[in-house]
Structure 1
């Protein structure tokens, strides 16, 4: 028989002796109990009971299982283990399970066995000591019991304290340990004192059980909350009660109230400083005061104001509410959001030289565009003029010497005037282009007026010097008529003879510009938040709102948050005049900015702010202010509105723009208006020319708050629409005397009125009466003139004025009268004055305002 056949023979098939169900023996017994909760609630709970497996160590040291029974036989005390009895790795018998162990594993097992034997020896020693101690205590109790039996103590009603034997009662010994002879099951009953001790122990256990079942209050002793694992005994106990959440909340609230009363938190009122804007809701007001909204509404109802929690109230009403609650008020205005928007002035040590900003102005036919192209050709960085793509209305030229000049192109002067109307001083020098063959033209005069209004230095570029009929002397003589005196004639006006076509003397023009800039000492601080001005803005497809910005001070970088007029945004891209994207730009540098939420207006400020919230607040405030201004139409446009503002003292000069049919009429009107002024008031002619009223005249008048006078001329449709939109008043005249009469009335209103005193009469005090709630009342006789109620009075005593005021009461008998004439009696009382005596004289007079005369 082969080896394989022998193995197959030894294997037995797994079969059942008789047909029955193949299953494992249950080790878990399950059952269901009913768990009771508060308020009559109950729940069925499934409880599992697991059998406990008990193990004990045998004589050989191996653990054996004891099924459900405890070993109660007293094992003999083992003898001390000798050192020779501790096994060694070589002495371990070779079992089948140990055949494959390595020497290291055997050593670990031997070490563990040695430690177990030592621990067992120590436990046996401690157990022997405990048994000896218990034996001595039992003998002592026996001796005391015998002594008490011989000498019984006097009978007591009920012992409240357990005898000393109770305190020394030994704990029950474990099942595996031998019991002392006095506590074995077959031991004889203890004497009578031992029975008393057992009875006391039974009473104590009953008392502890009662305390356990009776719920206690308080955080420390609250047993009503079930904690820990759910057991069968706890589930079957019907006497336990649970605490509701409402009870817990009430207890916590009581503790908080006791704590507040102990610390006096309710008595101490917290006074807060409440920031109060012009308009605020009731909810916001209660939040800022940290008061209940209902209390604020009650306070408003007491004042007669019926308001809901979301209703807005004015600042005066809110201030009364705040004061009633005992807080302090800090009034602020909506315009406070702009406080600190423009930074402080820079110190001298932080200032650095910056390039000048030059605006080229002049008649379109005098070569202004050609001069701009020629100046661009001198840019070292830009190369030839043909290779330059002009994307924006401003650019910067770098000269061969390294100096830089920023040029701004303002066709039609509209942007230039709007910038000045908004107070933006961005231009340092104005280059006035005049053709040498044409001389001074009407639009050239207009450009001169704009430059003078901006109060910037002017450099005259006499262009087209390459033509044969060029006459620069004629141009200089014509400049004298407009109060511009060239240096060649003893003045301070710089004139340069250039030719844009031939490109001659362009370097001299640039040199004069740099010289003027050096005299102005132009400086700016680049190390601060950017501030600038919008030169022009437009909407482009694919790019959105694009603004051309001239940086005045600071540095503008990509990612900066900014506010421009009523618009705001974040810088997404910066494009210079050559079409190149840059990361940052410094002072006096024009650049295109992308990233605006809307399109601003030319001349709006451009300021970088710290966060988006500040930008939104400023933008919303400016939009709201502009909307209110349009709704209220507060602009001083018509002549009647101008008269009102003049009388209110807002204006001390009257600006006008004059357009006439012929030059003689215009000169005659100007001469008549100049004679109307004096040292207090005067008429200022901003611009005068021949021809109809055009858009440029309306723009200038709107920027300066002037009146447009048209003498035998009319405005074109575009100018009329612009004047109607900007509330600019246009007056048409055909007689010069009508012009002078209307403006004379306006100037008369400008002058401060003269105060003149007018005497009314005298009264003598014959008797003084004291009237309740009125004070002293003088019974008087009118000796001269008339006395009127509401007039001014002086009290004379011995011809000396001791009081000057107004009459509060004037009566004849019991009736109030308006006036009392000479020879009649009356009663008079003074406002806030009671020192009246018999024999005093009362002087009555009036104050009249007399308008000034030219």
Structure 2
């Protein structure tokens, strides 16, 4: 079968063509086999006819199955053609977009080239203008010098011509350039020939120069020409010496001329000018170190020392001079001295105002306040998920603790835990001064207590918002509504009572309400919009200070503004130092601390007072100067307070002290805040008859000097969380000084009160035991007036004291001389019985008077 048989071809869809293969075998046998041949698959979209729809461009092959690949349906073929058209459209769009971007980049490059060319043209024009200005100034200067030189040459020529001519013949004035030779070619100037006499050529024809004169002039001319030679072209500006022929000096080289011209060009352009000396206003205290004086004048310290040596003072740069001498030095260096007082050193502390763009948000500082044992530390312990209470003696917070906690929403919160005991009132006050938010902890089973009221007062005085945390809500006796009602008496209206103060019911034991408390703190912080500038010099408040045996003085500082870094020089109160190390609340050493971050600062030269302000200053000398001034001011204040008494006041005080018994004590504590709180508590112990006198207080271990002072004054030494060293213990045992150690302030105060109570006089109490009414008065010889009485109440005793009342007014007080029942002397008479009474050394008794009978009893007093 062949292709031309007219039969239907083999294959599907008309894609393949039939063929015939003839097979040959042996013996002449043949066999025809029909085979199928496949054509190469080519997909070419047909062009759309004009006027035909775009979607029908590929429909030309759809009706001809012979031109379609095998197994491809109409829908599939249409989909492929559509995909091909979309791909081509995307390629065209991408090409157009790239072309547009390339065109835009080319325009940008063209614009930049034009800007650069315009800037270069502007620079060239400016440089050309400066060069033209310099050349114009140089030309004017040369013209002025040439004019001056020409005048000088004419004057000299006139003088020489006058000397060589006869006196009868007047000298003719010659032009200035008649005897001049070409000089500076560039400038077009000329100068006279050396050795020649200007004006000689203008002589009359009949009077020629003598031969000797001509020979001398010729020789000088030859020598001048040989000397100038090829240096003529190197000649610079026409100077007076060149114009007058005075060539005796050394000639200037070409390099020197170039340097001079370059210097003139730089001067014309405003470069290379020597800076004028700046006159400074130098602040001058009463005394100043020479090196510091040189620093303030911006002069070399060696120059200042040299100046003082010229005045006859052999000093070094580390010595101190007075203000008068320093003022002379300042005037010699051309500066102005500004006298300042010692108080002006405080102005050196940076008090610049922070710009709004430099302020960033900072974590809030939250202080937990409340009555003792209301669960403040336990609540903070629950928040921190650490055991803080276990570290406090007796579960009572003795120091201010500063911690940072991250709330569930990720916000950092700085907590200050203040003691709730009454002795730590001042510590709580300091906590309220540095805080942003106060969390008032009130026990639901105890309600508002005295220290709670004090905490409310501190918060109101500091002007900070308050959040009430009603703790111990899990106890059966909890009554949170009573707490809210009691707070109303102190002008604290919570939200549950339609007020503005947030109140949260929490439990430190079960964790109830902790998340709500942190959320309330975060909301309050957002309302306050707390910001600080971390880029400025640091400023902070000392929360606590102590003397560590291994680390020296250590201060717990809450940074309020700026960033405190390792190596910063600071002044805090009367102390100063350089930050040697920073330790955060987790005991980790850090390199810097930003706003609202509590850290322990090491590197002080002494233990500061809790509550002092820390300020970073620029130099060590400045910090030392401020600290010295503050220390001296404090000494002067104490001396003035002691001296501000008259002789009469001293005598009155001595007389009053004779009636007051004193209990002297020495106090040593571990931290400054505890020592201060103990002193304030001891000052309140006593009354008008007895008082406690603190002879000395300090921070750190008990030393030999403390034992010596205690022996001289007969006072015991109280150690609060500190101990005496080995030598001090031996000295105390040898000298009989009592050492008492405490770790809980309750026990300390109780023992001091007992000791002070022993100095009180016994109290005499009166117990009324009976009343008697006088019925009749008898006169008995040898005894006097005897009152016949009826005991109306109680009992009458002979040993008791009596008072005689007349119309309820005490007429006499004394003792009984006799007490008789009928005729017998008795010790006592019961109520309802009659008796006879006679007073000791008193006889003015009348009928109807009342006798009050009492007994006296001595009771040992104690201090409350």
Q: TM-score range by the shorter chain?
A: 0.3 to 0.5
- TM-score (normalised: structure 1): 0.38
TM-score where L is the length of structure 2: 0.38
State the structure with bigger RCO (CA 8 A, min sep 6), 1 or 2: 1
